[in-house]
Structure 1
Amino acid sequence: MRLKFTCLKGDHIGIYNVILLGLGFCFTFAGFNTMGGIQTLVFESAKNPESGGFVEGYNGNGFWSLAISYLAFTFGNILAPSIVATIGPRATLVVSSLSYVFYILQLLVLNDGLLYFASVVLGLGSALYWTAQGNFLALNSTESTIARNSGIFWAMFASSGIIGNVIVYTQFRGKEFIDTNTRNIVGGVLIGLGGAATLVMLALAPPGGEPDGTDNQQEEKKGPIKALKDSGKLLLTRDMLLLAFTFFYTGLQLNIWSAVYNTCLGFTSNFGDERKGLAVISGIFIGLGEVLAGGAFGIFGQFLSIKRKTPIIILGFVCCITAYILIFINIPKESPFGETDIIEHVSFIEPNKYVAIVASFFLGFSDACFNTQILSLLGDVYKKDSTSAFAIYKFFQVAATCIAFWYSPVIHLHWQLLIATIFCTLGSISFIVVEVFNNNKLDAVKKEGQGSENPAYTSN
């Protein structure tokens, strides 16, 4: 079925697509984030004969599931440019959104083999989903609108974290187990959210709004082999090698705010009976920080007279370092390993829930600072090769998350924070250097009267 979009022209079609893209990702990850919030409880309940949700013979392991998913995600980014080049970003978004639905579907039919197979499908689908997202965002943006569009998308996407954590907090607070009926009801709701995301993706318009339903490709049409070769060539350019440090850091930061920090809060005995609920509230404040930064520096960036990306990256650096310092002094270093001992496992100050929540907000705010500016830079600088650029971005990000996922349960929290601080510093410097290089090149071209076309795409 082809939809007609003749009533939308120019920037209207771009903003229409960006809003739908953000809404689709919001629905997808509202369901997926909620799934992540209850997955451990679901699996443990399924193994307990007294839980009311017991499934005979089920031994699903969330740790292995995530490991398989991230591994598939990492390698999926190698193939993603070729697939997106073959079927186009719109079709890729529709098909890959179903991988999240399939993963949630296994809630209704708990089976070890299905869990791990769904994890592989999820990892591969995620690589396609995010690569197509970056490509489609770039195709619907110009140099003057890419920052705004990146902010709109990120704010809408990040709101999914708030929705997911609110669902978990209100529906599962105080529950020790999840019975079969509750699991099926929740699974049905989450599948509905995933299905709504797919329907939203079906309503995306071709960039430029051609009535014949063809994509207005501002990026050169490529075959799958050429797309793969071009990704390799792009990776070896000077700017992309520098940006790899930034991409890698966002993966380490993702691991901290999405898994490590909330786990540590839940294991810090000094917070008493509030610690499980505090972990969920922390997730809500991380989401609030994400949404606020996305709106401030994307949607309202033009009103704040923000012309360059460097000041936002510096602000993100300051916020994340502040968050790491607060976590360092407030949370026992043994907290990643399990329940802490109030007497033996101490932090530099008596653990304070308000300090913990402030750190959560800074984590989310700084994460959005980095990711919105990466989206904006790649969509602008690498507009003619955005599929490869975004695949490289997700490859390094997910590879870092995968590596961090393996070492997080076995090294002290303080060492994890130190690793993240080192890469935060390297990533911030690398990003600033790349932007300065490309801004100088663009200014030189404009002064020579050769037009305003962005030359950074050809950087070495």
Structure 2
Amino acid sequence: MRLNVNLFNVVLTGVSFLFLFTAFQAASLASQNVLEAAAREGGGSAAVGIGYISLALLYASFAICNWFAPVVLMLLGYKYTMFAGALCYVLFVASFFEPHAWSLYLASLLNGFGAAILWTAQGAFITMCSDESNSNLHFSIFWALFQMWNLNGRFSMESFFPAVLTIVFDCELLSLLFSQPVSRDYMTTCCHTFGRSFVLLRSKIMLAMLVPSGFTGLCATFQSSLFATCIGHTKAFDPNAKAYIGLVGVFIGLGEVCGSLLMQLRRWIPSTGLLAIIGYPSALISAFLCFALLPADSPMRDSDQKTYFAPNGLACCWPLLFGNRGKPQWKRKSACIAGQ
């Protein structure tokens, strides 16, 4: 049977991202709680850094470097750009082994650059491997594989991270060595590539995508670190408050995998736009439930404030499963529109 090169590329890319983000998202979810614990062990010193500042630097760098990512992609190509971006993620995860403010913040800035080139290369690579007939299928496969990072459980920092770092290098090397080449239809200059980004920004499609992109970014910010920090700070969960942080990742993954599978219901729901619209009220209901179940000051400190409903660990995680069903649909629909 003849190998489907394009499908092979999509699956291998999804598996590589699965292992890479297993390490990164575990560090991101627990960053604020881990650094607070490290500061307490050091006598209350803030020299270990602050998780919120670290992630703010990361995503600010991510946003700025996205303007230059197409130039890097043009110079290095798809595979080498993804490999370089993955190395930046590894440096960020490694900074938690011995946390210091300067190394954590520097690694966050580098990770922002790596994220920009990695995701730009990933989107361009899968788009090049797809056409109008299978683009939804390919992006669904990628996101389903990618979001399975949440379902592997949560182990301790000491025993889990070193093994994951080794797997990350192995999988990214496999992606580098065995991904099949994809033909390029054109070559262009760096200046033209950089200038074309501003031309695309003024197009009607890109302007229309600003609002859903901002909304998904807001949801991602809440779920990547803020919600897990709130869970860890809620004293009503003691002594299991920190243990529920792992469940946060599991429920995020379940929600996004279910959302990826919903994209395949084209036989019964012919419009993918309708599926994306359904995800919007799901996200709003999820946000309201989180507001009602968690203390108002839990993002900043340990809290025992009263809430509208009695906090329960599993009940607080269910809104993530419910609200994350729409995010894969928005991301994949945006990627398909941009690719076309």
1:149/1:77 CA distance change after superposition, 3 Å? same
Distance 1:256 1:38 in 2: 13
1:133 equivalent to 2:122? Answer yes
* Preserved contact between residue 33 and residue 229 of structure 2 (Cα < 8 Å): no
| 1:29-54 Cα deviation digits (max 9, x unpaired) | 01112233454565456556689xxx
* Preserved contact between residue 7 and residue 138 of structure 2 (Cα < 8 Å): yes
In the other structure, the counterpart of 2:137 is 148
The one of 354, 362, 375 aligned to 2:322: 362
* Preserved contact between residue 29 and residue 224 of structure 2 (Cα < 8 Å): no
1:44/1:190 CA distance change after superposition, 3 Å? farther
* Preserved contact between residue 32 and residue 190 of structure 1 (Cα < 8 Å): no
In the other structure, the counterpart of 1:29 is 21
1:105/1:144 CA distance change after superposition, 3 Å? same
In the other structure, the counterpart of 1:196 is 170
| 1:174-209 Cα deviation digits (max 9, x unpaired) | xxxxxxxx3xx54422321321232132121112xx
In the other structure, the counterpart of 1:445 is none
After TM superposition, list the pairs within 5 Å mapping 1:296-315 onto structure 2.
296-297=262-263, 300-302=264-266, 304-315=267-278
Distance 2:104 2:19 in 1: 22
* Preserved contact between residue 23 and residue 200 of structure 1 (Cα < 8 Å): no
Distance 2:100 2:297 in 1: 33
1:217 equivalent to 2:180? Answer no
In the other structure, the counterpart of 1:167 is 154
1:330/1:113 CA distance change after superposition, 3 Å? closer
Distance 2:56 2:193 in 1: 28
The percent identity for this pair of structures is 26
Deviation at 1:301, TM superposition (A): 3.8
The one of 256, 261, 277 aligned to 2:243: 277
1:195/1:339 CA distance change after superposition, 3 Å? same
What's the RMSD between the two structures over aligned residues? Answer: 2.6
The one of 178, 181, 189 aligned to 1:206: 181
* Preserved contact between residue 150 and residue 251 of structure 2 (Cα < 8 Å): no
* Preserved contact between residue 61 and residue 112 of structure 2 (Cα < 8 Å): yes
Q: Secondary structure at the match of 2:79?
A: helix
* Preserved contact between residue 19 and residue 164 of structure 2 (Cα < 8 Å): no
Distance 1:110 1:257 in 2: 23
Superposition TM-score, scaled by structure 2 size: 0.89
Deviation at 1:335, TM superposition (A): 2.4
1:187/1:331 CA distance change after superposition, 3 Å? closer
Superposition TM-score, scaled by structure 1 size: 0.67
* Preserved contact between residue 32 and residue 104 of structure 1 (Cα < 8 Å): yes
Deviation at 1:365, TM superposition (A): 1.4
Q: Which amino acid aligns with 1:167?
A: R
* Preserved contact between residue 29 and residue 245 of structure 2 (Cα < 8 Å): no
Deviation at 1:242, TM superposition (A): 1.1
Task: Name stretches of at least 5 consecutive residues in structure 1 with no aligned partner.
Answer: 1-6, 173-181, 208-215, 382-460
In the other structure, the counterpart of 2:8 is 16
Q: Secondary structure at the match of 1:205?
A: coil
In the other structure, the counterpart of 1:254 is 220
Deviation at 1:261, TM superposition (A): 1.9
Distance 2:59 2:13 in 1: 23
Distance 2:265 2:337 in 1: 14
Q: Secondary structure at the match of 1:273?
A: coil
Aligned length: 338
Say which one has the larger Rg: 1
1:269/1:45 CA distance change after superposition, 3 Å? closer
Deviation at 1:227, TM superposition (A): 1.0
